[in-house]
Amino acid sequence: MRRARTLELPGAAAISGLAFLVGYAWPLAAILLRSVNGVAGRDGLGADALRSALTDGRLGRVAGFTVGQAVVSTALCLAIGVPVGWVLARLRFPGDRIAAVIVVAPFVLPTLAVATSLLALVGGLPASRSGRFVLIVVAHVVFNVGVVARATINGVAQVDRSLIESASIAGRSPAAVWWSVSRPLVARRLAPAVLIVFVFCLTSFGVVVALGGAGLTTVEVEIWSAATQTLDLSRASVLAGLQLLLVIALVVVGQRLAVPTVAGTGTLRRRPRGIEWGAVAAVVAVVAVLGALPVGVLVARSVSLGEGAWGLDAYRSLAVAGSRSARAATGSDGLGPVVIRSIVAAVFATAATMVVALAVASVASGANRSARWVERLAILPLATSSVTLGLGALIGFGTWGIDLRGTPMLVVLGQTAVAVPVAVGIVLPAARSLDPSLRDAAATLGAHRRRRVGGLALPLMRRSLSTAAMFAFALSMGDFGATVILARGDAATLPIVIGRLAGRPGPESVRLASAASVVLVLACIGPGLTSSWRDLHSRRCAHGVVGADRSATVGCGRRESGHRRRRRSGGGVGRWIR
Amino acid sequence: MLVACGPAAACGSNDPDDGAGATGHPTLTLVTYDSFVLDDTVKALVESKLGIRLKVVQRGDAAAALSTAVLTAGKPEGDVFFGVDNTLLSRALAADVFVESKVEVPDSVVASLRLDSTGRLVPIDTAPVCVNYDRDWFDEHDLAPPTSMDSLADPAYRGLLAIESPVTSSPGLVFLLGVASALGADADAFWASLAANDVAVAGSWDDAWNAMYTVNGGDRPLVLSYASSPPAEVFYSEGALSEPRSGVIESTCITQVEFAGVLRGSSHPALAARLVQEMLGADWQAALPLTNFVFPARSDAAIPEEFSSFATVPANPIRLDPATVASTRDRLVDRWRTVME
């Protein structure tokens, strides 16, 4: 049966289609088309290029390293994230809500800022490959452990108290109840989150570029290097295609694993007893390290002048391009124009992202087959590396009649393509959980569509929309992969400036990179922090269900009617993040 | 289009596309690699002579800067590009990035530097890429430094050498092609034994010289750098050193030549050509040794004594044949990555 959309936006299908073509399909097609003929004397894409890319022996090593570091990173995220999430979900202690917010905070930190903070912590790029490998894994854990912790919290919240009670009444020991009831329920909830963390680690770019040094590359970095350094577009196409196929396969598996969202009974949380206080202390320690360390190290390194001296020299130097390193990184006008440029681009990208995300969510909020397809297509760019998206935009909008190269529009386009899938993942579940009976009632009472959307649907989705906008802004602001390819050399954004500084040895570069990272972190998470804080204070009504699936919750009171409680929620990332 | 723009003339200030700054002078943009340094005095001289404001845009290492120029060919990020070297010359010419500029190359630029017969890329400087060694380290360890390319792979020097990757660094690429040119069929075996000898591969010259070299606190007393690195050491020590701590292994020296050209699509092609001409002018050429530590392309350019007294001029450097470079470069890089990464 064809169901009407719960979110009725005019022109949604047209906007979604156009966005997919312009931001994704055409750029990817353009890379393929351009590589067919070869560039600057390089061989074109053909059987030979395919064979040499697949059989030169490097691919195996690079792919091996790529998968290996992703497996290790994901395993560590699980090992740390699950216990942390479990404690936060089951025990009530002072500061638990703040801890639940802080634990995911690193996820919105720009990759280069975290990489810089690790470099600052160990005093520069380690010479050994194993040292660099460890740094890459640590950075990935810092980013993603919160995603696992959140999913665990959500999973535990889904475990119905009555199940546990009945199992206990049946005489099972607490351990047996945990093993036979809670564990499988949480594991099913966790599987998609693990998958998404794995994909993030697999396609991570900024971290590996900054911390991998020479010779330690992933497929993603290899695509960038082939495209921008050796100008081997055929190789870049082949690798991008392979990576796309692998990630699509993973996303499909992930959608199969997605389980129905059930409104949990919540409030299984209680005060810790005896030894449990030890677990709480450990969690607080982990959360404090995750939340405070990256930014703390950056702040400390940016003001430390060595030998116990402190000062704001690095910030001053960046502001006025006062030293050679600073000038080389920011250009002769200093950091001011860079910050303004970054914010303006991110604001435009956020606006574009929200328009597209709303349109996609509207089309996909109908529960028919085409809605399912729209949702899948919207997630595709997540499966495509930001480097590939950027390269595609540069080639696709640089020839064949349309030439946007050198315009800021191209940067906005690239950042939008990077941010849309994440925003859709947050907005779509909210759109789906809108109650159709409310819409129908409003229509019966004579409200026109505009009124039903503007006066009813959007206000109900307000919280998800602001979360999505915050994520879109942070992602656009912090994007390195697409922006580094699309921005003009004299129109660098903050992450590009950090990338330039992080690539230079010496204490001054580390200090400047740290200072620029502090500025970037402030710009990125400023809006997020404000909204989390507001959230924290307005969540009293959520009755202690820390991290209940916020995006699927309409407002504060849960107005979900019985038959809608078992609805499949979207397969987007939003659920795993929030 | 802007054609004639004399010194101090208020050029086309009504045209929004001419990049005219507040002074009314058009802005010319020089696109180059990260480590290029423009002398402030020379910049001011050229600006007033051409009636322009000169902006420098730095675009990563030399290969990345050129790749960007290729991907933005026809709609460039600037007017003049500096930093195509003799290893990437054929790529730049094949990609149709530059236009013919009718720059007059003075007679004092020797024929071996004029590698582009199409008149698009003009030689500006030359610098031999050579393995440097830490004199004190070799003294203290009672070891004689290597004397030839071959001997770098000698087990006596195991774990001592740092080079740059040919993928991300132009001296690295020069070295790869130089090894191929000097050793021919034995090059593959050389790389295999270098790998077995625990050579360290840095991503950039900066990384190799400043982070890996023993002189600067690293643990490798042999590093791939330039014949001009010793004078640079003395110069940057600001009086702390009266003579360099590094020596140059002459038999490893390979000639690198750097070119400049007018980017296709520049909105000021005539002015851009004049800027390239200025790069061959006496002021620009004379400033090169102590800013970029390279030899001016003009043999009649004044070379400061601080430079000439410590810079090695290799008697018989390895010269790269442009045709061989063009036909083998990409294949050699691919093979190198297979062996070394």
Task: Give the largest CA-CA distance in chain A.
Answer: 76
DSSP, collapsed to helix, strand or coil, labels residue B225 as strand
A228 and B34 within 8 Å at the Cβ level: the answer is: no
3-state secondary structure A331-381: CCCCHHHHHHHHHHHHHHHHHHHHHHHHHHHHHHCCCCHHHHHHHHHHHHH
Smallest Cα distance from A394 to chain B, Å: 8
Smallest Cα distance from A122 to chain B, Å: 14
CB-CB: which of A229, A490, A506 is closest to B210?
A506
ipTM above 0.90, yes or no: no
Please choose, from the candidates A468, A269, A519, the residue with its C-alpha nearest in 3D space to the C-alpha of residue A360.
A468
For chain B, what percentages of helix, strand and coil (3-state, to nearest 5) are there?
40, 20, 40
CB-CB: which of A58, A230, A394 is closest to B341?
A58
Smallest Cα distance from B310 to chain A, Å: 25
Using a 10 angstrom Cβ sphere, with 0-12 exposed, 13-18 middle and 19 or more buried, the burial of residue B299 is middle
Angle, helix A313-320 to helix A335-364, in steps of 10 degrees: 80
CA dihedral A106, A108, A114, A117 (to 10 degrees): -70
Check pLDDT > 80 for residue B339. yes
Give the pLDDT confidence of A214-244 residue by residue, as tens digits: 668 888 888 888 887 778 888 888 888 888 8
Give the pLDDT confidence of A109-136 residue by residue, as tens digits: 888 888 888 888 887 777 778 888 999 9
Smallest Cα distance from A505 to chain B, Å: 6
At A268 the pLDDT is 62
For residues A495 and A112, the answer to whether their CB atoms sit within 8 Å is: yes
Could you tell me which chain A residue has the CA closest to the CA of B54? Answer: A332
Question: Could you give the count of Cα atoms lying within 13 Å of A361 in the half-sphere of its Cβ?
Answer: 35
Check pLDDT > 70 for residue B4. no
Please choose, from the candidates A208, A200, A191, A190, the residue with its C-alpha nearest in 3D space to the C-alpha of residue A247.
A200
Check pLDDT > 50 for residue A501. yes
DSSP A468-508: HHHHHHHHHHH--HHHHHHS-TTS--HHHHHHHHHTS-SHH
A230 and B219 within 8 Å at the Cβ level: the answer is: no
Within 8 A of B94 by CB-CB distance, chain A residues are: 40-41
Does residue A439 or residue B108 have the better pLDDT?
B108
CB-CB: which of B34, B94, B201 is closest to A214?
B201
Within 8 A of A52 by CB-CB distance, chain B residues are: 334
At B260 the pLDDT is 96
Interface contacts (A, B; CB < 8 Å): 112
At A307 the pLDDT is 73
CA dist., res. A473 & res. A494, Å (int) = 14
Could you tell me which chain A residue has the CA closest to the CA of B60? Answer: A500
Check pLDDT > 60 for residue B22. no
Please choose, from the candidates A239, A268, A253, the residue with its C-alpha nearest in 3D space to the C-alpha of residue A199.
A253
Within 8 A of B173 by CB-CB distance, chain A residues are: none
DSSP, collapsed to helix, strand or coil, labels residue B29 as strand
A505 and B211 within 8 Å at the Cβ level: the answer is: yes
Q: Domains for chain B: give ranges and CATH numbers.
A: 19-126+256-308 (3.40.190.10), 127-255+310-340 (3.40.190.10)
Q: What is the CA radius of gyration of chain A?
A: 24
A127 and B200 within 8 Å at the Cβ level: the answer is: yes
Within 8 A of A332 by CB-CB distance, chain B residues are: 55
A213 and B207 within 8 Å at the Cβ level: the answer is: yes
A215 and B165 within 8 Å at the Cβ level: the answer is: yes
Please choose, from the candidates B331, B13, B277, B316, the residue with its C-alpha nearest in 3D space to the C-alpha of residue B149.
B316
Check pLDDT > 80 for residue A537. no
Angle, helix A507-538 to helix A313-320, in steps of 10 degrees: 100
CB-CB: which of A213, A232, A331 is closest to B203?
A213
Helix (H) or strand (E) holding B31: strand B27-32
CATH number of the A12-577 domain: 1.10.3720.10
Does residue A94 or residue B284 have the better pLDDT?
B284
A505 and B207 within 8 Å at the Cβ level: the answer is: yes
B68 and A405 within 8 Å at the Cβ level: the answer is: no
At A558 the pLDDT is 32
Q: Which of B215, B223, B337, B340 has the highest number of chain A CBs within 10 A, making it the mutation to test binding with A?
A: B337
CA dist., res. A189 & res. A247, Å (int) = 20
Query: Which residue type sits at A353?
Result: T
Please choose, from the candidates A361, A369, A386, A572, the residue with its C-alpha nearest in 3D space to the C-alpha of residue A487.
A386
Check pLDDT > 80 for residue B26. yes
Give the pLDDT confidence of A249-263 residue by residue, as tens digits: 887 777 676 655 554
Does residue B285 or residue A63 have the better pLDDT?
B285
Look up tokens 């010359």; give the residue.
B89
Smallest Cα distance from B68 to chain A, Å: 7
Give the pLDDT confidence of A11-44 residue by residue, as tens digits: 778 888 888 888 888 888 888 887 776 666 666 6
Strand partners of residue B31? B57, B81
B71 and A398 within 8 Å at the Cβ level: the answer is: yes
Q: How many residues are recorded in chain A?
A: 578
Per-residue confidence band for A557, with pLDDT thresholds at 50, 70 and 90? very low
B77 and A57 within 8 Å at the Cβ level: the answer is: no
At B86 the pLDDT is 94
B63 and A504 within 8 Å at the Cβ level: the answer is: no
Give the pLDDT confidence of A272-304 residue by residue, as tens digits: 888 888 888 888 888 888 888 888 888 888 887
At B11 the pLDDT is 39
A229 and B67 within 8 Å at the Cβ level: the answer is: yes
Per-residue confidence band for A536, with pLDDT thresholds at 50, 70 and 90? low
Query: Which residue type sits at B211?
Result: A
At B324 the pLDDT is 93
DSSP, collapsed to helix, strand or coil, labels residue B268 as coil
CB-CB: which of B59, B94, B206 is closest to A41?
B94
Q: Please state the domain extents for chain A.
A: 12-577
Look up tokens 């922090």; give the residue.
A529
Smallest Cα distance from B107 to chain A, Å: 31
Backbone angles phi, psi at B200, to 5 degrees: -95, 135
Per-residue confidence band for B192, with pLDDT thresholds at 50, 70 and 90? very high
CB-CB: which of B77, B202, B212 is closest to A406?
B77
Helix (H) or strand (E) holding A535: helix A507-538
Within 8 A of A58 by CB-CB distance, chain B residues are: 337-338, 341
Within 8 A of B120 by CB-CB distance, chain A residues are: none
Within 8 A of A125 by CB-CB distance, chain B residues are: 207, 211
CA dist., res. A527 & res. A534, Å (int) = 11
CA dist., res. A25 & res. A97, Å (int) = 42
Kindly report the average pLDDT of chain B as a whole number.
87
A215 and B341 within 8 Å at the Cβ level: the answer is: yes
Check pLDDT > 50 for residue A575. no
Numbered residues of chain A with Cβ closer than 8 Å to any chain B Cβ: 39-42, 52, 56-58, 61, 124-125, 127, 213-215, 217, 225, 227-232, 324, 328, 331-332, 394-395, 398, 403, 405-406, 488-490, 500, 503-506
Give the pLDDT confidence of B289-309 residue by residue, as tens digits: 988 889 999 999 988 888 888
Using a 10 angstrom Cβ sphere, with 0-12 exposed, 13-18 middle and 19 or more buried, the burial of residue B156 is exposed
Query: What burial letters (b/e) apply to B58-72, b meaning 16+ CB within 10 Å?
Result: bbbbbbbbbbbbbbb
Using a 10 angstrom Cβ sphere, with 0-12 exposed, 13-18 middle and 19 or more buried, the burial of residue B196 is exposed
Q: Which of A222, A228, A234, A508 has the highest number of chain B CBs within 10 A, making it the mutation to test binding with B?
A: A228
CB-CB: which of B58, B95, B167 is closest to A225?
B167
Give the pLDDT confidence of B115-147 residue by residue, as tens digits: 998 999 999 999 999 999 999 999 999 999 999
Could you tell me which chain A residue has the CA closest to the CA of B170? Answer: A229
Kindly report the average pLDDT of chain A as a whole number.
77
With a pLDDT cut of 70, the percent of chain A lying above it is 83
For residues B220 and B213, the answer to whether their CB atoms sit within 8 Å is: yes
For residues A407 and A368, the answer to whether their CB atoms sit within 8 Å is: no
> Hey, how many other C-beta atoms are within 10 angstroms of the C-beta on A121?
16
Within 8 A of B121 by CB-CB distance, chain A residues are: none
Give the pLDDT confidence of A405-432 residue by residue, as tens digits: 777 888 999 999 888 888 888 888 777 7
DSSP A202-263: HT--HHHHHHH-TT---HHHHHHHHHHTS--HHHHHHHHHHHHHHHHHHHHHHHHH------
At A552 the pLDDT is 31
Smallest Cα distance from B203 to chain A, Å: 5
Give the pLDDT confidence of A380-411 residue by residue, as tens digits: 777 777 888 888 888 888 766 677 777 788 89
User: Region B57-67: what's the mean pLDDT?
Assistant: 83
Within 8 A of B170 by CB-CB distance, chain A residues are: none
Cα–Cα separations (whole angstroms), residue B67 to A44, A218, A480, A575: 16, 20, 18, 40
CB-CB: which of B31, B75, B204 is closest to A405?
B75
Using a 10 angstrom Cβ sphere, with 0-12 exposed, 13-18 middle and 19 or more buried, the burial of residue B315 is exposed
Look up tokens 């859709």; give the residue.
A424
Within 8 A of A506 by CB-CB distance, chain B residues are: 210
A229 and B63 within 8 Å at the Cβ level: the answer is: yes
Within 8 A of B74 by CB-CB distance, chain A residues are: 403
Using a 10 angstrom Cβ sphere, with 0-12 exposed, 13-18 middle and 19 or more buried, the burial of residue A446 is exposed
